[in-house]
Amino acid sequence: MKISSAESVIMEALWRKQPLTSEAIIAEVGEPNGWTEGTVKQLLSRLVKKKAVGATPDGRRYQYAPLVARGDYVAAESQGLLDRLFDGRLAPLVTQFSDAGKLSDQDIAELKALVERISK
């Protein structure tokens, strides 16, 4: 099932630290996003129903933990963007950032080192 934009905020919290109680999650993402307790609970429920998050009973409450790895999610999202906008190829994406002047010197240095390492 697809993870929506608001839901992904919850996922990020869980990927950062896991497991968490709903209380902890609310503390983590409620304020920064202007969400009430009810909103976060609903998002959590939907994620559990989607099997993106697991809920382990712990006394009267649950401990929540991601069931999908961040890496898998990130890979799917990235591949999706690449396919949709760049014909599945990586170089044009990098070109796009370069052309847009969005690459810092550090970015370029990192890329350079990275390509060095990969290409051997």
Does 93 contact DNA by CB under 7 A? Answer: no
22 binds, among a copy of itself, DNA, none (CB under 5 to 8 A by kind): DNA
Q: What's the burial of 88, exposed, middle or buried (CB within 10 Å: 0-12/13-18/19+)?
A: exposed
CB 14 within 8 A of CB 25: yes
E-strand ranges in the chain read 53-58, 61-66
**Is the Cβ of residue 23 or residue 99 nearer to a copy of itself in the bound state?**
99
Does 65 contact DNA by CB under 7 A? Answer: no
Does 11 contact DNA by CB under 7 A? Answer: no
Q: Which residues would be at the binding site for DNA (CB under 7 A)?
A: 2, 4-7, 21-23, 33-36, 38-39, 41-43, 45, 48, 55, 59-62
